Structures are given as C-alpha cells and as structure tokens.
Homo-oligomer: A and B are copies of this chain.
Amino acid sequence: MSVTDELLGNAERYAATFDKGHLPLPPARHVAVLACMDARLNPYGLLGLAEGDAHVIRNAGGVVTADELRSLAISQRLLGTTEIILIHHTDCGMLTFTDDGFKASIEAELGIKPAWAAEAFTDLEADVRQSIGRILADPFIPVKDSVRGFVYEVETGKLREVS
C-alpha cells in the first residue's frame, strides 16, 4: 500500500465526522498566509487556524515569485483578504544549496537545466525582507498596510517577527 493510499484512509475518517459544509468561500479572518512547504511547519497548529479562516499559500522557501503574486492578487481582489503573513523557518532546505549548484547538478544529469530560479538563500531574515519587498513592489496587490514577515523556529516552536 502506498502512503497516498494510507492518507486516503485518513480522508475517509475526516469525512465521516465532517460538520463544516456550511462555510462560505471568502476567508473568515481576511488573512492570507504565505509559508514554506516544510513538513515541520504546520500553519494550522501554529496560528490556531480552523477550516474557513485563511488562505494558505506555500512553496519551497515561502518565497515570492510570480505565482505567489497571482495567488495574493486573487485572494485580495476576489476574496477580500487584507492582511498578509509571511513565514520562513530555521533549518530550511533553501539554506543548504545554491541556485547555480542545483541547476548545474540537474544539467549534468539531464543535459538541460530549468528556466526558473531555484530561489535558494543564505540569510533567513534577509529573505523574509526580500519577500515583503517584492509584495510591496507589486502593482497588482491592492492592500499592503499589513504585510508582516516571520521566522518560525523548528527547534522551539516559536515564531519571531522580522523587522
């Protein structure tokens, strides 16, 4: 049995006691969270989010690329969110390689390399500021008075703000 099959068993149990079929499409708390995809970072547990509360956008690093700007524009313009919470974290995989090295290893294997930037970084706090800056610089996200960035400490469970 694959892990996917096993998780589908969990999904059957979730549906068996499901009582949230009445929730509306727009997030109740008007918040969009953008966080790293890391397995140890659970935005629901960490921020106390329940079904219906917030948009959650995630990728490798919790970085801001064109697709996150797309998601945030849709979140604010069509679904009424007004606050943005960015979360990077300690011990991130993105700190363990360089764009050049990663792409060279792929090219060595396949003969071609991706056209995308891998978005690796060397300084967590600086990359949180980079993410905030990219959002502030984007012309298509209308509400920017609450764009705040944080580092989650996977060792302690603590969330600290980047100023």
Copies in the complex: 2
Q: Determine if A114 and B73 form an interchain contact, defined as CB atoms under 8 angstroms apart.
A: yes
Distance (whole angstroms) from the CB of A147 to the closest CB of chain B: 10
B71 A37 Cβ-Cβ under 8 A: yes
With CB as the reference atom, state the residue of chain B lying closest to A23: B40
Q: How far is the CA of A42 from the CA of B77 in the complex (A)?
A: 22
Cross-interface CB contact of A2 among B57, B75, B77, B146, cutoff 8 Å? B146
Shortest Cβ distance from A8 into B: residue? B159
Contacting pair A14 B97 (CB below 8 A): no
Q: Check A68 for interface membership: any CB of B closer than 8 A.
A: yes
Q: Provided the pairs A11-B159, A48-B13 are in contact, do residues A4 and B83 lie with their beta carbons within 8 angstroms?
A: yes
Q: Which of B38, B48, B66, B148 contacts A67 (CB 8 A)?
A: B66
